[in-house]
Amino acid sequence: MGLGYGAGAAGAIIILLSILNFLLAVALWLGSIYWRRKRKAAYPKSDRLIKIILIILSILPITTTIALIEITIQNYFTNQQRQRETEERFQQLSTPLQYGELLMPSGTWVNREGPYSELSQSDISYGIKSARFPTAVPIAEILANAFSLHNSLIIELAHDYTLNNGDELRECPAGSVLQFDMPEGFSTSDVSQTNFDWFTPSQWKPASCFDQGLSGIIVLMLGEYGIVSAPRPKYK
């Protein structure tokens, strides 16, 4: 879509410059005729100067067109590169994906982070930071509709959940977010490993839950009109 707008703008500029160039050339030509008739004498130097200017004016639209074509081509390849990078970062699983303890079903939207050069040359599981499932999936035996993994693991609860902190019981309604304490020694660099045996939420402790608002865990997807939030289930 950006390329279409760019090409249209380039075409409009070329047409405008061509019209202005034509009007200027006509005005200069008619002016020279009027000048010669009024003076009733020939001015070789002036005629040569006018011819040179007319030649320059005839070349200007060509050079402008070439420059705009180069800009359009450059924009095209830039847009293609951006599109490829977007497709690497926001992908929908066509087959189930085993991610440590978690089996993500086909249809899951995953968001990946990292340098494009690494994402494009790695397995789809590389760099996953969040995902939204088409149906609820158990994570640490707790049904979840989505998860996000940055400084900690959080999951979006598919059903009500009672959090036992030892000192008190807390009711976490469906749609709220449950946060897990990460294991000791865990590093965010582990997320980029190609061996995902480290993803063992069943061994991690649920620490707190909170309301994430109407958006819940934000997972992006490629829609018809660009990048949008993956649809979230309706909670009571």
Distance (Å, rounded) from C-alpha 158 to C-alpha 216?
A: 11
In a domain, residue 236? The reply is no
In a domain, residue 74? The reply is yes
Task: Specify the pLDDT at position 126.
Answer: 80
Which secondary structure element, helix H or strand E, spans residue 180, and what is its range? strand 177-181
Average pLDDT over residues 35-56: 60
* Whether residue 113 sits in one domain with residue 54: no
Higher pLDDT, 99 or 12: 99
* Whether residue 175 sits in one domain with residue 106: yes
In a domain, residue 9? The reply is yes
* Whether residue 128 sits in one domain with residue 25: no
pLDDT, tens digit (0-9, with 9 covering 90-100), for 102-129: 999 999 999 988 776 666 666 777 888 8
Higher pLDDT, 6 or 134: 134
In a domain, residue 76? The reply is yes
Please say whether the beta carbons of 89 and 113 come within 8 A. yes
* Whether residue 123 sits in one domain with residue 74: no
Higher pLDDT, 79 or 22: 79
Task: Indicate the residue among 40, 66, 88 that finishes a domain.
Answer: 88
Most trustworthy range by pLDDT among 35-49, 133-147, 221-235:
133-147
This prediction's pTM: 0.68
* Whether residue 156 sits in one domain with residue 78: no
* Whether residue 142 sits in one domain with residue 190: yes
Rg of the chain in Å (alpha carbons): 32
* Whether residue 153 sits in one domain with residue 42: no
The domain of 80 spans 2-88
* Whether residue 159 sits in one domain with residue 44: no
Phi-psi region of 141 (alpha: psi -120 to 50; beta: other; left: phi over 0): left
Task: Indicate the residue among 33, 55, 88 that finishes a domain.
Answer: 88
In a domain, residue 193? The reply is yes
Task: Indicate the residue among 52, 73, 88 that finishes a domain.
Answer: 88
* Whether residue 196 sits in one domain with residue 132: yes
* Whether residue 107 sits in one domain with residue 29: no
Task: Specify the pLDDT at position 83.
Answer: 78
Average pLDDT, the chain: 79
Task: Specify the pLDDT at position 188.
Answer: 57
Instruction: Give the pLDDT band (50/70/90) at residue 135.
Output: very high
In a domain, residue 234? The reply is no
The total number of structural domains that make up the chain: 2
Please say whether the beta carbons of 92 and 122 come within 8 A. no
Token look-up 């994570």 returns: 139
Task: Specify the pLDDT at position 31.
Answer: 66
In a domain, residue 31? The reply is yes
Higher pLDDT, 157 or 10: 157
Task: Specify the pLDDT at position 166.
Answer: 76
Neighbours of 214 (CB within 10 A): 8
* Whether residue 80 sits in one domain with residue 59: yes
Distance (Å, rounded) from C-alpha 83 to C-alpha 98?
A: 27
* Whether residue 83 sits in one domain with residue 156: no
In a domain, residue 149? The reply is yes
Long-range contacts of 180-187 (CB under 8 A, 24+ apart): 180/140, 180/152, 180/153, 180/154, 180/155, 180/204, 180/205, 180/206, 180/207, 181/152, 181/205, 181/206, 181/207, 182/151, 182/152, 182/153
